[in-house]
Structures are given as structure tokens and as C-alpha cells.
Structure 1
Amino acid sequence: MTDQKQQLTIWGRANSVNVQKVLWCLAELDVPYRRIDAGMQFGQNDQPEYLAMNPNGRVPTLVDGDYVLWESNSVMRYLCMAYGHSSPIYPQAPKARAAVDRWLDWTLSTLQPVDRPVFWALVRTPPEKRDMVHIQKDVDAEGVVWRVIEAQVADRRFIEGDQFTLADIAIGAFARRWLGVEGVVKPKLANLERWFGDIAQRPAFIRYVAPPMS
């Protein structure tokens, strides 16, 4: 197992929310790895060698020996199944696991589509090129989605109860972006902020997700 772990490589830039999820997961599982910068200013993800691993040209990509896997939520699931058998962050019981899986799917189907335009407009677009009227409309749309989490954590510590899971990682990485953007009007979501304040104290979050957004 040790030799196999040493072969783990993550391709992807550290400021990618999807890479951050995987790095957070690896830290929670205490699995060693090496990371190679790829994407945006680092390039590489448009080269034939990278596209042979990941035809989407996106990050992250996991290389574990001769096994290659892309899609961040699938990578997190794999890491838990391959290296985290004793970890409760991906429950063994079918109903508990399915409950976590639905939130991983939800981040892709519902949360990420409304997060992306807000994040890019407020973090990766120069101030002089921002259409604040249009951005506020996008913020309002994202706020509606975050009310789902506001209700979900109203009576529980974490997304799926008292145990921290992959659901908290997947949603927490996006929550850092939502709560971190400024210059717009966002709804006050006290339960969301309480939950986020809790997970934001975890060492892996502080190291991989909390740094300034870029």
C-alpha cells in the first residue's frame, strides 16, 4: 500500500475549486501525493500528453500508478474507497453513502452552474469590465440555491448529520467562494455561516481552500 500511495499524482492548479476539493480530501485521509501545476497560466492541459489522460482538458486529473481518473467528485470517491476504508467521510452503509452521493451530484447539477458566473465576474474579471447589474442578478440566483443548504444545516452540524463527509468538502469549497466574494448584496444565511465557520476551522480547509481566491 505504501508503494502505491507514493505513485499518486494530482494534475491541477491550487486555485481551482475542483482541485481544492481533491486536496482537501487527500488531507482528511492523510494520503501522500505530489501535485503538478496545470491549467490557466500553467498550461499543459491543452497538450497531447495531458489530453491523452483527460480528453476534457480540465483539472484535476488523478494518476495512481497506471490508473488515471478525472472528475473531482469521482476522484474523491475513489480515494475514499482505495485508501480510506476506515474513514467515515464516505460512509459504508448504502443509505448513508447514497445520501452523501446526492450532494456530490447536486454540486455539479445545481450549485456549480450558478456559482461559476458570479465567481468569474467578481474574482477573475477586472473591476472596469464588470457589469454589476447583471452580476447582481446572478448573485440573486445563486442565493436561492444556497437557501437549500441553509435549510439542510438548520438542525444538524454537518450536511448529513453529526459526521463530516465528502458532502461537506464538495459544498464547502464552493461556500468559501460564495461567502468570500464582495461588492454585491447577498442574503443573510445564519445556518450556512455557522456550518461554514465550523468546517473552515479544519486544518485541510485552512491549507487548501482558505487562501485568497484567484
Structure 2
Amino acid sequence: MLTIWGRANSTNVKKALWCARELDLAFERIDAGGAFGVVDDPDYRAMNPNGLVPTLKDGDLILWESHTIVRYLAARYGDGTLYPADPAGRASMEKWMDWTLGGLIEPFRCVLWNLVRRSPAERDNAELERGLAGCAKLFTILDAALAKQPYLSGATFGVADIALGPHAYGWLGVPIERPELPHLAAWFTRLNERPAFREIVAIPLT
């Protein structure tokens, strides 16, 4: 059985858990990170020297970095359902996973932390405004891509959708004015039709 360390409300932990649930894999989740601590314990640092979540243990294999975990689970257990064997198909998905890490993570963090995890008195309004502008720009790029295909992974659901879905949930769940992005909204509706998304991702933002 898989073991996944990380708190359930973490955007990146949700990716690993969601992928495992989509693949109907048995796993144990151990609370770690945030208020739970654990990540600075010597045993944890021996597995993940970064002191971040999630961390995955599958037999003797230990992995960290959420997108690496998602790719591994899909390749190891998905039988081509979430992650195609051909290089072109994989690259088409992975570009969105790397795009998320390289572009979306930082402005999304600015929004989430200031609107959800900080009190109004603690907010950095300049940081929040930068995050809102950055997210609006990047989600508009996603909307344009989704005008051409039903999923970010292509014709069918896959790892790129798992990488982006929790961020879209957070962006659409905070009380702000957003640009009208109909293709993104339709994609998000399709994600909400998936039981694993509703169970793992669509939980209260904290």
C-alpha cells in the first residue's frame, strides 16, 4: 500500500491524493506540514530533505515533488489511462504541468495566502494585487487552450488536469472578481463530475 505524507488542504498534496484515487489505489495518508509539523523531524527529512509535502512511499521507492508523484503513479499504475505511452502525447500534457510550476504557482500562492490563510490585518495588499493580476492572465491562457480541447491533457482527462485542477478550484473558490472564462468554467464542471475530484479537491479552502 502507498503512503502519502501531507495535510489534506494542501494544493500540492491534493494532486497526489487525487491521482491515487483516480487510479483506485489503496493508500494511507499521514498528516504532515503546516500545523501538523512532522516535516522537520529527522526521519521525515531523511525521506524529503526539502521539508515539504507531499512525500510518497511505494515499497522501497520514496518520491517528492507533487508533479513527479502524479507522473509516477499514472505511469506505474495507470496502464495508459492518465498518461499516454507515446512521447508526443506525454509532452503535450507535461508542458502544462511545467507551466504550472514555472508560472502559476507563485501568483496563486499570493492569492491563496492573502485571501484564505491570513487575517485581513495580516494581508499584503500589494502582493495580493500582483497575484490576482497574474492569475487572471494565466487562467485566460488556459481558457484559450480549452477552447480547442475538452481537457488540458487533450481529448481525455489526464495528468495535466490533475496538476491544474486544484489551482482552478482555489481560484474559483475565493470571493473576487474574475474575468469571464467560459471554456475554463466548462472544464471545471467536467472535473466536478469526477467523484475523486469532489472527494479530494472540492473541500473547504483553508
Band the TM-score falls in, shorter-chain normalisation: over 0.9
Whole-Å separation in 2 of the counterparts to 1:69 and 1:62: 5
Partner of 1:146: 139
CA distance in 2, matches of 1:116, 1:130: 13
Could you tell me which amino acid in structure 2 is paired with residue 175 of structure 1? A
Equivalent of 1:193 in 158, 169, 185: 185
Instruction: Report the secondary structure of 1:35's partner residue.
Output: strand
Q: Quick one: which of 98, 110, 113 aligns to 2:91? A: 98
**Residues 131-140 or 119-128, more deviating:** 131-140
Match of 2:162 in 1: 169
On the 8 A contact 2:115/2:174 being kept in 1, the answer is yes
Deviates more, 1:8-17 or 1:126-135: 126-135
Question: Which whole-Å CA distance do the structure 1 matches of 2:23 and 2:30 have between them?
Answer: 20
Could you report, residue by residue, the CA deviation over 1:37-67 in whole angstroms, capped at 9, with x for unpaired residues?
0001110001111000000000000011221
User: SS of the counterpart of 1:163?
Assistant: coil
Give me the whole-angstrom Cα distance separating, in 2, the residues matched to 1:75 and 1:138: 26
Question: Matched residues in 2 for 1:205 and 1:135: separation?
Answer: 27
Q: In 1, Cα distance between the equivalents of 2:7 and 2:124? A: 28
Aligned-pair CA distance for 1:131: 4.3
Deviation of the 1:134 alpha carbon = 4.8
| Whole-angstrom CA distance in 2 between matches of 1:73 and 1:23 | 12
The match for 1:69 is 63
1:39 is matched with: 33
SS at structure 2 position matched to 1:88: coil
Gapped regions of structure 2 (runs ≥ 5):
none
Structure 2 Cα separation of the partners of residues 70 and 119 of structure 1: 22
TM-score by length of 1: 0.92
User: How far did 1:185 drift?
Assistant: 2.4
- Tell me the distance in 1 between the aligned counterparts of 2:126 and 2:15: 31
Answer whether contact 2:106 2:131 (CA < 8 A) is retained: no
Q: Which moved more, 1:51-60 or 1:120-129?
A: 120-129
The alignment-based identity, stated in percent, is: 47
Q: Is 1:209 aligned to residue 201 of structure 2? A: yes
Q: Give distance in 2, aligned partners of 1:77 and 1:132.
A: 36
Query: Contact 1:158/1:195 (CA < 8 Å) preserved in 2?
Result: yes
CA RMSD of aligned residues (A): 1.3
Displacement of 1:142 in angstroms is 1.3
Structure 1 runs (4+) deviating above 4 angstroms are 131-134
Per-residue deviation, residues 83-137 of structure 1 (Å, max 9, x unmatched): 222x421111110011111111111001111111111000001123334465234
Match for residue 122 of structure 2 among 129, 135, 147: 129
Which one of the candidate residues 6, 9, 12 is aligned to 1:15? 9
Cα distance in 2, alignment partners of residues 107 and 25 from structure 1 = 17
Is the counterpart of residue 29 in structure 1 residue 23 in structure 2? yes
Paired residue total: 206
